[in-house]
């Protein structure tokens, strides 16, 4: 599935900029190294397997190890090193992103990141919230979500429920982001 993950279609051109506020250029895939250097590639593939250390393979031959990266973007996912905001437990699950990296699930005025953990028998996700692109990434709590989206009726309704499901959180934040963008236009 990830083999063709960075291939751009004829009718779609994605414009992404590196998080560091410096305009990179129109790119589909990039890696931000720990020293701040941004390297763009035409393809970026997550390589995992038995007896293999998970790594990224750029343009089919450049091997990039997780320890060298601060953040990266392929055609499908944006990931940031969890050490930038969460040091309690390092994740070792590598399904969509490198181990030790958080996957951005939702992008907008309110960003949602997730880290996958393996507790011996199950894989579970821990969610994190970020207000804007430069806001601090913090663990999800009902109080934080309420603070970030005070005036949104759908968020208040979600928070009033005793049992909140993870997929509902993603839907509520996605709707919140869409309503913000509609009101700005």
Last residue of a domain, one of 76, 110, 126: 76
Q: Is the pLDDT of residue 145 over 70?
A: yes
Same domain, 68 and 143: no
pLDDT, tens digit, 9 for 90 and up, residues 90-135: 666 767 888 889 999 999 889 999 888 777 777 788 889 999 888 8
H/E segment holding residue 112: strand 110-118
Q: How many domains does the chain have?
A: 2
CA-CA distance, 55 to 57, in Å (whole number)?
7
Res. 10 pLDDT band, cuts 50 70 90: very low
18: domain CATH number is 2.30.30
Farthest CA pair distance, the chain: 51
Q: What is the DSSP letter of 82?
A: G
The pLDDT > 90 percentage for the chain reads: 25
Please state the φ and ψ torsions of residue 146, each to the nearest 5 degrees: -65, -40
Taking Cα atoms as reference points, which of 36, 44, 141 lies closest to residue 84? Answer: 36
Same domain, 175 and 91: yes
- Per-residue model confidence (pLDDT) at position 148: 87
H/E segment holding residue 180: helix 166-184
Domain that holds residue 49: 1-76
This prediction has a pTM of 0.75
Place of tokens 């919140």: 176
CA-CA distance, 61 to 129, in Å (whole number)?
35
- Per-residue model confidence (pLDDT) at position 2: 39
Last residue of a domain, one of 16, 44, 76: 76
Last residue of a domain, one of 76, 108, 135: 76
């Amino acid at each position: 599935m990830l083999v063709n993950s960075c291939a751009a279609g004829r009718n779609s051109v994605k414009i992404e900029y590196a998080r560091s506020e410096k305009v990179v250029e129109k790119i589909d895939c990039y890696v931000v190294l720990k020293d701040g250097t941004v390297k763009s590639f035409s393809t970026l593939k997550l390589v995992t397997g038995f007896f293999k250390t998970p790594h990224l393979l750029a343009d089919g031959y450049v091997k990039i190890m997780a320890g060298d990266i601060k953040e990266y973007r392929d055609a499908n996912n944006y990931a940031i090193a969890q050490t930038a905001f969460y040091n309690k437990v390092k994740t070792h699950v590598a399904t969509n992103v490198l181990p030790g990296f958080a996957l951005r699930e939702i992008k907008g005025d309110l960003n949602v990141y997730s880290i996958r953990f393996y507790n011996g028998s199950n894989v579970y996700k821990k969610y994190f919230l970020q207000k804007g692109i430069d806001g601090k990434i913090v663990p999800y709590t009902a109080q934080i979500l309420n603070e970030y989206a005070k005036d949104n009726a759908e968020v208040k309704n979600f928070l009033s429920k005793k049992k909140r499901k993870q997929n509902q959180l993603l839907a509520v934040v996605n709707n919140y982001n869409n309503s913000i963008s509609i009101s700005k236009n």
